[in-house]
A and B are shown apart, each in its own frame.
Chain A
Amino acid sequence: MSDGAFSAFLESGVRFATPLAYAALGELAVERAGVINIGLEGAIIGGAFGALVFAGAGSVPLGFAGAALIGTLIAAVFGLFVITLRTNQIITGTAMSMLGLGLTGTLYRSMYGTAGASLHTPTIAPFAIPGLSAIPFVGPALFNQPFVTYALYAIVPAMAWWFYRSTGGLALRATGERPEAARGAGISPERVQWGAILFGGAMGGISGGTLVLAQVGTFAEGMSAGRGFIAIAIVVLGRWTPWGVAGAAFVFGAASSLQTLAQTTGWAMPYQLPLAFPYVLTLVLLASSRARAAAPAALGQELI
């Protein structure tokens, strides 16, 4: 691979990783509170649709706000069932994914016509940070990206600090590990889980908004393309820590980038191989005892 190609590979890897990182960081907070939201896919596609509607009515920032809002609303339905009604998380999540995909598809067709007219939203262009973007190889990859990627450089350390250095973060982790002990310490596990689920929904929505407003420039039915499920793999691969999740998101992003590279340069390798690789890696990692020890102890369990 030539230097230029390698640099381009890294750059598109970060681009592919950005929406994945938002979704996975949201899912991370939810899982650290002991809940698996397998319905994040619904929040992502809802966010993408919200971005289309709100950015079409106004501007890119309004689009992102709309994306976060719709993602939060969809997560609120999930929270209502899982926390208030205490329904099964997995089954409820599956329903939320189907609901998000079906509802956005139906609304899109009914609002914008059956042909799916080629609507274009305003998008944000990459902004090269002077100086930093000139660093060989990693410069363009890390510092010639849209603002939404740069925001991650603040969100990841902030989450890492908050998880391990704040009382809120302690309450979150306690709820995910031993909810009954957290309750004994005066923490309401329900409130913590509500907060985490709503945050996760907003991040999922921004993930969908990124697809529309920073990448594709339009909405397409089902454009979330399984990113909500990929986010769950990323959280496992990142071993339930913010930095780990950021790194794992890049692994998945790089896999997508490698696939495009393989297709355009005509490598002899089947392009599905790099795509399947991160999933297999996640499975292998899950089988190791260290990864299981990293999982929140009360993950997926109903509150007592």
Chain B
Amino acid sequence: MERPMTLMRAFLAIAIAVTFATTPLRAGQDATTVYLTLDQAPKSLFPGAQIERKDVPSTPQFKEMLKAKLGRVTPTVWEESYPTFTATQDNKTVGYAVVVDEIGKVNPFTLIVAATPEFKVRDVAVMVYREPRGGEITQKRFLAQYKGKKSSDPILLDRDIVGISGATLSVIGANRAVHKALSVLELVYR
């Protein structure tokens, strides 16, 4: 039994050492991971800009227009309204943003997509993630791929978006979310 005890001791020593060396515990979290609140999200994507919020109700007419604009892309969530934002700096519009939901595998995640005045993706951030798997899509290196995308781009896995092993369904969900976000912004602000 000498070897098992040694292995066990080694594991416990590593576990204790790493526990104290790494991130301190965070308190007050519920079942989902909230990375950004609705207040924080637009400010983090347009630092220093003035933000004006406009909620766009998803009326049946708006939904029809959005459906037509999305074409082959079928959203998994139809929101009741879309919180949108206009960012201005020195009285000049520097961009727009919208918050959308899409389903990864089972549960929806919430994404904010910021666009330039030319309706190209400026930045994307995951605000809330609710799945036990696929959380790799919150990585900055993954989200950076969307920069510069337009609604006319494919935004498809293995075409212009590189996937992540073990998070394929979440990646596909993120692609749909970015497509939907760009289409909403174009319908509202173009």
Q: Do A and B bind each other?
A: no
